[in-house]
Amino acid sequence: MYIHPINIWEDEPQIIAFIRQNAFGTLVAQVNQRPHGTHLPFVLDKNSDGKAILTGHIARANPQWKSIPDQSEVLVMFQGPHAYISSSWYNHENVPTWNYLAVHVYGKIRIIEGEELLDHLKTLVNIYEEGRPNRVTVEGMSDNYLQSQIRALVGFEIVITEVQASAKLSQNRDETNYDNIVAQLSKSELDLDKKIASEMKEFKNRKKKS
């Protein structure tokens, strides 16, 4: 994706945390010579070789998996909070814009089956059941039911080869305008506006400490 130089995001621990907090991403690959996207929950982990990976699964009925050759390159997109920035918030003439956080992950994909797929499903469910009342587990499901569900799925592992991350948070504004944007977003009734305001505050604090 295009990233303006001032918005390049390179802090690895922050990016890892971002992916895990916004793990419902979009798998993009070619199907019948057209771009095809599937919206999925992903698990960020490391394989036995210590390489960073994403694991996921799609419906067997989804034609996307049949069109992706083994070890071919795919793209996974993760979208974070975003917010409209009105030019009325500046102390000078300007145009409106949009602030956002986004991460694109490229990697080599392979299909996983059997125990690998089962391990992925266990991990995925455990992550999202953590802290919930009446927590469920894959292990607690009857074998016949579990196997019937697994037959309808295709699992995959993506070995990450490149990460592109953009944090567009009004870094090009002076302190007066930056603080006013934060103030305007903070008093908005929209949750996404408040989240971007929080990200901007954290960015400013990190900049002061660096």
Evaluate whether residue 57 is within a structural domain: yes
- Beta-carbon contacts of 105 under 8 Å, excluding residues fewer than 6 positions away, are 19, 25, 54, 75, 76, 77, 78, 158, 160, 162, 163, 164
Evaluate whether residue 201 is within a structural domain: no
pLDDT at residue 32, rounded to an integer: 87
Its pTM surpasses 0.85: yes
Evaluate whether residue 111 is within a structural domain: yes
Evaluate whether residue 30 is within a structural domain: yes
pLDDT at residue 207, rounded to an integer: 84
Which residues in the chain land under pLDDT 50?
none
**CATH at residue 31:** 2.30.110.10
Evaluate whether residue 50 is within a structural domain: yes
Range of the domain at 165: 5-172
pLDDT at residue 58, rounded to an integer: 97
Evaluate whether residue 25 is within a structural domain: yes
Domains identified in the chain, total number: 1
DSSP 8-state assignment for residue 55: E
In 3D space, the residue among 111, 107, 31 whose CA is nearest the CA of residue 72 turns out to be 107
In 3D space, the residue among 43, 34, 41 whose CA is nearest the CA of residue 67 turns out to be 34
Evaluate whether residue 181 is within a structural domain: no
pLDDT at residue 209, rounded to an integer: 82
Evaluate whether residue 63 is within a structural domain: yes
